[in-house]
Amino acid sequence: MSGRKNEEALKRREFLQLVLGTSAGLLLAPGQAFLRTAGRKETGLKVLVLGMDGLDTVLLDRFLQEGKLPHFQKLAASGTYRPLGSSVPPQSPVAWANFITGTNPGGHGIFDFVHRDPRTYLPVFSASESLPARHNLRLGKLNIPLSGGEIRNLRRGRAFWQILEDYDIPATVFKIPSNYPPVETKQRTFSGMGTPDLKGYYGLFNYYTNEYKTVTEEYGGGGRVHDVYVIGNRVEARIPGPNNPFQRGNPETFVDFKVFIDPVNPVAKIAYQDQEFILREKEWSGWKKIRFDFIPTQGVSGICMFYLKEVRPKFKLYVSPINIDPSDPALPLSTPESYSRELARKFGPFFTKGLPADTAALENDVLDEKEFLAQDEIVYQESMAMLEEELRNFRSGLLFYYFSNADQRQHMFFRLIDRNHPAYNEKLAAEFGQVIEQTYRQMDRALQLAMEKVDRNTVIVVMSDHGFCPFRRGFNLNTWLLRNGYHVLRPGTRPEEVSLFQATDWSRTRAYGVGLNALYLNLKGREAQGLVRPEEKEPLLRELAHKLEQVTDPLTGEKVILKAYLTSEVYSGAYLPEAPDIILGFNRNYRISWNSPLGSFPRELIEDNPQKWSGDHMTAPDLIPGVLLASRPARLEQPALEDVTAGILTLFGVKIPPEITGRPLF
């Protein structure tokens, strides 16, 4: 990593500390009721929704035509198969929030993975907000929180299972994205995408090695490399845990561990706390419990996996992000709270982090393709086992069940089916070019399981939130704004050295980009140092939209942005004032660059994406619709996500509330 990158990483870490707070403090968050009763009405009709994140119409069509997905074929023939209109922008948190609430982002307030705080211009997570305890008693180095911390789900609008609850219709909603922490309900729900690891990150792995290695600690995730020494066939190191809310300054907690390596055999024993286990080289440990103590009576429990990548000549040990222990959750995972424990009793430890596949480890070459897939296969097998159990218990109402595998693998393996991708590698393509197809086949097996287990009174719906396309080239929005005079840096600043808008002259800046698709005006009365007067807003937005839609890539001659959506035209609802002013709908093969979303100004306006994260879904939504399959004919020719919500409510005879903008699908 270059010095500049190091500096940036440091700034990001500082920034993360600011925005994430300490997850540990949240352990004191007020608990939900221990036992509750979900709706118990016996519904004659049942609805099963399989949410398969990122299933793409183009690929699905191809595999269907090739006869590779017999159960999708069967479902399509029995009822409905058509593209499903995604959200603007087609990002998962936004799209699933559309489905959850049956309305557009103006009605639920999730506009992007990342929002910005108009008071500071700094990026903030859009999905949830964590607040430490307000009152603390300080005794020397000891800090005693006197009140509970708080964690808030920032998605607004009522979830469809809350509406079903009003009618006493039972629902189980398993790992739906954009529901962390799970909203208050008596239904059985388990949080999905957006659920952090025990440290409060979206996934932070640890890598122990005596080889020179750097990895990036990205916005909300990534990994850490720990330099270790092998002395006398022994390695001693520490696993970092959550910050300690009981100590002044909230220092990070650690668990010490030892690795004993056999002098000859490629095998080692790992020991920490009361755990001892042996791993062969290239072997996963399965889930291991780990406890981080704050003070003698207080601590939090997590689960993680170890992978002994190499013993010799270099020592390489990967430890997965510490997931929240579902049998003793330190942070809210489910409603009722006992649901999480019930699952842990039946299945033992399982992935609780929102997106379980460790894409950052693959991106940083800590895990290779095979190792990444081995880990994601564990995720799939866990999901299948739990789906089978949920189907066995599915007697009434609605069951929603989520799969993340297709989304995560398409993000990482699109480069191996796209010969024009900068990261295409012929050798890897020969070995892993079938991964995406195999994943679609696995989704077909999940559907097969569902079809075999449900009865005739069950309507089966398979849906995805968006499709996929290659991410070959990245657009630096803030660089474009800078070059076109909409964004101004303080004199003497080298733009490529700036991050988090640290050198922006806000008194002369009219627009800025934060997040993956969002552009904001520096609006007077809204932003802390707003410049654009309300009467200037509309013409400026039209000017920006027009100019952005004209940007072409000199390398390909293609338009970079297919459509710049004015949110005032595409959103409606109470939270429209909080929305970005423009949402960029990129052209196929394009996306925002890696550095622009966090307030950086890279030198190139459009740059190649050489990374393994090579497939994405930030284009204009029309280019990458999701898929909809149902065992019942749909009334709508061009359904959208929110229409599925309205359709589900209609199936149960529930009156559609006025805030839902979707039309009944069935």
Partner 1 sequence: MVWWLNRAVGSLFNLIFLPFSSLNPWVAMLAISLLTALLMLFIYKKTSNQEGIRRVKNRIKANLLEIRLYQTDLRTQLGSQKELLAANLQYLLYNLKPLLVMIVPIFLILAQLNLWFTSRPPAPGETFLLKARFIKTMDLERLRLDLETPEGLVVETPPVRIIDEAEVAWRLKVTGPVDDPLVIQVNGERYQKIVPAGKGRLLRVSTVRVKRNLWQELLYPGERPLPADSLLKQIELRFEPQRLKLLGIGFHWLVAYFLLSIILGLALKGLFKVEI
- Per CB under 8 A, residues contacting partner 1 are 232-234, 260-269, 274, 276-280, 341
> Residue 266 or 433: which CB sits closer to partner 1?
266
Min CB(263)–partner 1 separation in Å? 6
> Residue 267 or 429: which CB sits closer to partner 1?
267
3-state secondary structure of 410: helix
> Residue 142 or 278: which CB sits closer to partner 1?
278
> Residue 268 or 362: which CB sits closer to partner 1?
268
Q: Tell me whether strands 150-153 and 171-176 are parallel, antiparallel or unpaired.
A: unpaired
- Contact, 463 vs 49, CB < 8 A? yes
CA distance 371 to 96: 29
Min CB(356)–partner 1 separation in Å? 23
> Residue 276 or 497: which CB sits closer to partner 1?
276
- Contact, 121 vs 527, CB < 8 A? yes
Beta strands in 298-369 (DSSP E): 298-310, 316-319, 323-324, 334-335
> Residue 285 or 493: which CB sits closer to partner 1?
285
CA distance 194 to 179: 7
Min CB(173)–partner 1 separation in Å? 24
Order of strands, sheet of 80-84, starting from the edge strand that comes earlier in the sequence:
80-84, 626-630, 458-463, 46-52, 397-403, 171-176, 188-191, 334-335
- Contact, 165 vs 180, CB < 8 A? no
**Which residue reads 């929305």 in tokens?**
579
- Terminal CA-CA length for the chain: 54
Min CB(259)–partner 1 separation in Å? 10
> Residue 348 or 610: which CB sits closer to partner 1?
348
The string of DSSP codes covering 231-287 is: BTTEEEEEEEEEE-TTBTT-PEEEEEEEEEE-SSSSEEEEEETTEEEEEETTEEEEE
> Residue 269 or 370: which CB sits closer to partner 1?
269
Min CB(19)–partner 1 separation in Å? 36
Min CB(281)–partner 1 separation in Å? 10
Min CB(266)–partner 1 separation in Å? 8
> Residue 270 or 592: which CB sits closer to partner 1?
270
Instruction: Show the CA angle centred on residue 223, arms to residues 219 and 226, nearest 5°.
Output: 140
- Backbone φ and ψ for 360, nearest 5 degrees, come out as -65, -35
Other CB atoms within a 10 A radius of the CB of residue 137 amount to 9
Tell me how far CA of residue 17 lies from CA of 107, 361, 584, in angstroms: 30, 21, 29
Min CB(268)–partner 1 separation in Å? 6
Min CB(276)–partner 1 separation in Å? 6
Q: Judging by beta carbons within 10 Å of its beta carbon (0-12, 13-18, 19+), is residue 438 exposed, middle or buried? A: middle
> Residue 216 or 338: which CB sits closer to partner 1?
338
Q: Judging by beta carbons within 10 Å of its beta carbon (0-12, 13-18, 19+), is residue 557 exposed, middle or buried? A: exposed
Min CB(270)–partner 1 separation in Å? 10
Nearest alpha-carbon partner for 455 in 648, 653, 644, 631: 631
